[in-house]
Amino acid sequence: MPTPQDCHINLRGLPFHYRDWGGRGRPILLLHGLASTCHIWDLVAPRLAADFRIAALDQRGHGQSAQVDAGYDFATVLADAAAFIGHLELQRPLIVGHSWGADVALELAAAHPDLVSGLIFVDGGTIDISNRPGWTLEQARQEMAPPIFTGFTPAMMRERVESSGRFGPNPSPTVVAAVLANFRVLDDGTIQSNLRRENHLRIIDALWEHRPSELYPKLQCPTLLLPARQSVPDAIDRRLRREESIAQAEALLPRAKTVWLENSIHDVPLQRPALVADTIREHIQTGFFDN
């Protein structure tokens, strides 16, 4: 397995961190989701770097990148990603986005179709939260707000991950480290999310204004949808909303294909990295993203 380089650069006047996995061939940019980091890809990236050029970015406010209290609207965040593509001189990369990262990828491809050759949405990119019946922005802010881990230590978080069962009975050290990377350790030995709570809420506000259905027809590149689905169904309303959002995306996207990742949780890049990497590789090698 290749070993990544942890790199620090300045983009648009702010410091950013990314993991450069190297590799040759078609370039792929990996974007994490809300309150996550580039480490969500630590088990997927090395599997892809055998065949492709791979880089994973910590987006603003996340991980080791700029801790600022502005710029969480999509126009600013996608401009960060565009600047990163230019910095690395990635020639029309595929953009793989997980969760909110897929929404960033969608906004980027709609605004700058010349920069992107294809999109891959890993359990994201299809939810219009303001279209949920009966929901208000305040309700969205309450339900989507981050958990509060006041008083948690790294050891307590590690035990939580290992005992949750979400990643199997014995999650690997890489999985545990990827979860812990979402937090910083304070002087008193407790942890705090890298993404400040107020900035988390700013991203929710941006998602409220985000309209995927209006962006889909603007795309000029193929889109591979990889929604996660568990064998035990979600609540009926949640399951129906998800299936409806995927059906709408398929209907409106100029060229799209859906592959349901069965028996998978939302954090499927950590839970089933081989499935994610193999599905991406298969669709690249069979020409789905060829124009």
Both tokens of 37, joined, read: 């980091």
Q: Among residues 194, 209, 232, which one ends one of the domains?
A: 194
Residues 234 and 111 in one domain: yes
Q: Are residues 126 and 181 in the same domain?
A: no
Q: How far is Cα 73 from Cα 92, in angstroms, rounded to an integer?
A: 23
Cα separations in angstroms, 135 against 131, 142, 177, 232, 249: 8, 11, 35, 26, 21
Contacts of 286 (CB under 8 A, 6+ apart): none
Same domain for 128 and 249: yes
- Find out whether 224 and 283 touch, Cβ atoms under 8 Å: yes
Count of domains forming the chain: 2
User: Is residue 177 domain-shared with residue 277, that is, in the same domain?
Assistant: no
Question: What is the 8-class DSSP label of residue 233?
Answer: -
Q: Is 32 in contact with 98 (CB distance < 8 Å)?
A: yes
Write down the pTM of the prediction: 0.97
> Do 100 and 18 lie in a common domain?
yes
What does DSSP say about strands 53-57 and 183-185: parallel, antiparallel, or unpaired?
unpaired
With respect to residue 141, please indicate whether it lies within any of the assigned structural domains: no
Question: To the nearest 10°, the Cα dihedral for 15, 16, 22, 25?
Answer: -110
Domain annotation covers residue 139: no
Of the residues 194, 210, 232, the one at which a domain ends: 194
Strands 191-193 and 183-185: antiparallel
Task: Please give the pLDDT value at position 169.
Answer: 87
Q: Same domain for 188 and 272?
A: no
Q: Are residues 116 and 227 in the same domain?
A: yes
Q: Is the residue at 240 inside a domain?
A: yes
Residue 94 lies in a domain: yes
Closest CA to 257 of 230, 223, 215: 223
pLDDT value of residue 240: 77
Tell me 147's DSSP state. Answer: P
118-122 and 53-57 strand pairing? unpaired
**Same domain, residue pair 256 and 130:** yes
Q: Report the alpha-carbon angle 44-185-72, nearest 5.
A: 65
Residue-number span of the structural domain to which 119 is assigned:
5-134+200-285
Q: Tens place of pLDDT for every residue, the chain, 291 residues? A: 778 999 999 999 999 999 999 999 999 999 999 999 999 999 999 999 999 999 999 999 999 999 999 999 999 999 999 999 999 999 999 999 999 999 999 999 999 999 999 999 999 999 899 998 889 999 999 999 999 999 999 999 999 999 999 998 899 999 999 999 999 999 999 999 999 999 999 999 999 999 999 999 999 999 999 999 887 666 566 777 888 999 999 999 999 999 999 999 999 999 999 999 999 999 999 999 997
Q: Does residue 69 sit in the same domain as residue 188?
A: no
Domain membership of residue 142 (yes or no) is no
One domain, residues 103 and 184: no
Residue 119 belongs to domain with CATH number: 3.40.50.1820
* Angle between helical axes of 197-209 and 100-111 (0-180°, round to 10): 50
Task: Using the 3D structure, point to which of 194, 214, 230 is the last residue of a domain.
Answer: 194
Residue 291 belongs to a domain: no
Q: 3-state DSSP call for residue 80?
A: helix
**Which string of b and e fits 244-282 if b means at least 16 CB within 10 Å?**
ebbebbeebbeebebeebeebebbbbbbbbebbbebbee
With respect to residue 101, please indicate whether it lies within any of the assigned structural domains: yes
Q: Establish if 204 belongs to a structural domain.
A: yes
Q: Is the domain of 90 the same as that of 225?
A: yes
Whether 113 and 217 share a structural domain:
yes
